Amino acid sequence: MGTGDQKPTLRRELRRRTPVTPPASAPSLASLFAGTSAATVGDEADPTPTILVVCTGNICRSPLAELLLRERLAPLGVRVHSAGTGALVGRGMARESQRVAREHGIDPAHAAAHRARALTDDMVTRADLTLTMTTDHRTDVIGRAPSALRRVFTVREFAALAAAPADLPPVDATQSARARLAAAVAGIAAQRGSVVAAPGDEDVFDPYGRSPAEYDESARELVPALDEVVRVVRAALESPAGAAG
């Protein structure tokens, strides 16, 4: 949510800097990440991998992403939470966002329980991965914690980088869950520079105060990107023998 975001007048897909022939199927992530060394962050005594999702008001896009990621990553013990750069603190999730969440299989009680909260520097510092809804949000987050630069992405940027062909070492099953996620995120960050976007292509449209159809449109931009996030995290954290790719 954010009254300042504007809906793009023309929606274009992310474009590669150098055209490549797309693979016949999505690249396998079972053999991607470990070996890309990256330190875990935040409280090293806390073993729980943490994902932070950020939008403006924390009542539309980021809570929807939080609920969807939490539902799908729960078996892996991942902590997912959300916050807003201009949060309407204490407000519940927008009614239409709750409806979209229900339509994607989220327990209505979980959607109804959400309360908006303000983003803090500490949240960014402690997160192993921060996903924002727009490039402006990304700039705000990095400004709060410049050291987190390589752990902060717009959600659509992360998805595009994850889909880019990569040739990285296999998962190191001897590492902790947080270290494996950190290595995965570092591997994705290393893909930066191979994908560029026209203005607005990295953003998820803000439907706040708009029609139900526009909430659906926003979800159509968001949900496929979350699919890629889930694919990457599962690849990093699933069984020691490897991960689904």
**CA nearest 177: which of 83, 68, 75, 245?**
75
Homologous superfamily of domain range 32-237: Response regulator (3.40.50.2300)
**CA nearest 185: which of 22, 56, 70, 50?**
50
Give start and end residues of each alpha helix (H) in the chain: 61-73, 95-103, 108-113, 121-126, 135-144, 155-163, 177-189, 212-237
Predicted confidence at residue 118, as pLDDT, reads: 98
Q: Mean pLDDT for each consecutive 10-residue tract of the chain (245 residues)?
A: 44 38 39 38 73 98 98 96 97 98 97 97 96 97 96 96 69 84 92 70 93 97 96 85 42
Q: How far is the C-alpha of 138 from the C-alpha of 128, rounded, in Å? A: 15
Predicted confidence at residue 186, as pLDDT, reads: 93
Q: How far is the C-alpha of 47 from the C-alpha of 31, rounded, in Å? A: 23
Predicted confidence at residue 173, as pLDDT, reads: 75
Amino acid found at 150: R
Q: How many residues does the chain have?
A: 245
Q: How far is the C-alpha of 122 from the C-alpha of 111, rounded, in Å? A: 25
Amino acid found at 197: A
Residue 76 contacts residue 114 (beta carbons within 8 Å): no
Within 10 Å of residue 79's Cβ, how many Cβ atoms? 15
Predicted confidence at residue 9, as pLDDT, reads: 38
Domain boundaries, the chain: 32-237
The two tokens of residue 147 are: 């050291």
